[in-house]
Amino acid sequence: MKSLIPNVFNVEDNRINQQHYSNVNYIKNNLISSTPEKSLLLESNKHTLTCTDSKFIHQNKTFETTIECIGSLYNQSCLYHNLYYVDSTFMILTVKGKQLPSYSVRIDAFVMSHTTPSKRVFDSYSHLEKFVRNVIDPRIIPSVTLYFGQYWHDNIGHALFDGLYPAYVALIRFSPRHLHPFRILARIADCNDCWSEDIYSRFGGLGILKQSVLNKISKGHWFMFEELVMGSGTLCQRCIQPNFQLPGGVELDGSRLFRDRIYQQHGLIHPIIRQKSSSE
C-alpha cells in the first residue's frame, strides 16, 4: 500500500521559459490531485518557490532515512533516501539498532570540512512513522536532488568544472540517475547577473533551488528529499590526477557524459565523434 503525504514542493525558474524538461509538467504527471487552497510564495531574485497542499504518492514507501555511499572517505559520494531538512539542517530519521554507513561528505572541493547530517533515533519504526505523519507533516521534494557548493559561480569556468562537473560525477556513481531530470540544490551566494545559474537549471532539468532560500522557509517547517545525492570531494578540474584527466573522466566516462548533457539540455547538435587522433 502506497502512503499518501500532503504537500508537494515545486521549484520553478522564472528566467527560463523553455527547458528540455519542465518541473511543472513533472508535478502534473506525478500528482493524484491538486488543491491549491494554501500556498507559500517566496521570491528570491530569479526563482519562485511554491509550496502547495497536494496529495503525492510517496515513492520510497517508507519514512525512514536510508543511505548508500560510494568512494573513499575523503572522496565519498552518498545517496540519501528520505533525507529531512528543518531549520537549515539536514536530518536523518532512523530506528534504534539500524546500522548506517559513514555518511560525512565534502560538498565543495575548496572547503576541507565535511558535511554531516544530524540524526534522530526512534525506539521503533512505528514511532518514527507517527512522528512524520502526525507531528512534522513534511513537504516532499520529489525526484532526485543534487546538492553541492560553489564559491565562484560568477566565473563560468569555476561554475562548470569546479562546481557542476564534480557534482554530476557524484550523480553518475548512482547510475542511471544522471540520465534523467534532477533538481539542483546549490549553496551559492546571491548574484544578480550570474548566467551560470541558468546553465545549472537547464542542465538538471528540474530547476535550481538556492540553499539560502530553503533555509528561510525551513524555519520551523520540515521538508523531505525523496532522493538526494551529495559528496563531490576532490572531483573538480583543479584536483590534479596522475593522468591529467578530469576526475571520473575515464573510469566513469564523466567527461563525455557531462559534455553530451550540456549539448542536450541546451538544444544543441552533438559534435561529430572523431575516429582518428589529431596526429594521424
Report if residue 66 sits inside a domain.
Answer: yes
How much is the average pLDDT of 124-144? 96
Question: Which of 92, 5, 91 minimizes the C-alpha distance to 56?
Answer: 5
Q: Is residue 136 part of a domain?
A: yes
How many structural domains does the chain have?
Answer: 1
Q: What is the mean pLDDT of the chain?
A: 78
Grid cell of 19 as nine digits: 527547458
Rounded to 10 degrees, the C-alpha dihedral 177/182/186/190 comes to 160
Quick one: DSSP state of residue 164?
A: I
In a domain, 239, yes or no: yes
Structural domain for 233, as ranges: 60-265
pTM of the model: 0.78
User: Could you tell me the three cell numbers for 142?
Assistant: 520529489
Tell whether 158 is covered by a domain.
yes
20 falls within a domain: no
Over residues 257-267, the mean pLDDT reads 93
Would the pLDDT of 22 be above 60? no
pLDDT tens per residue, range 54-113: 334 456 689 999 999 998 887 899 999 999 999 999 999 999 999 999 999 988 766 778
Q: What is the pLDDT of residues 148-178, one digit of tens each?
A: 988 877 888 888 888 899 999 999 999 999 9
Question: What CA–CA distance (Å, rounded) separates 213 from 218?
Answer: 9
Give the residue with greater pLDDT, 186 vs 55.
186
Would the pLDDT of 188 be above 80? Answer: yes
Q: What is the pLDDT of residue 158?
A: 81
Query: Residue 104: inside a domain, yes or no?
Result: yes
Residue 112, in any domain of the structure: yes
| Structural domain contains residue 77 | yes
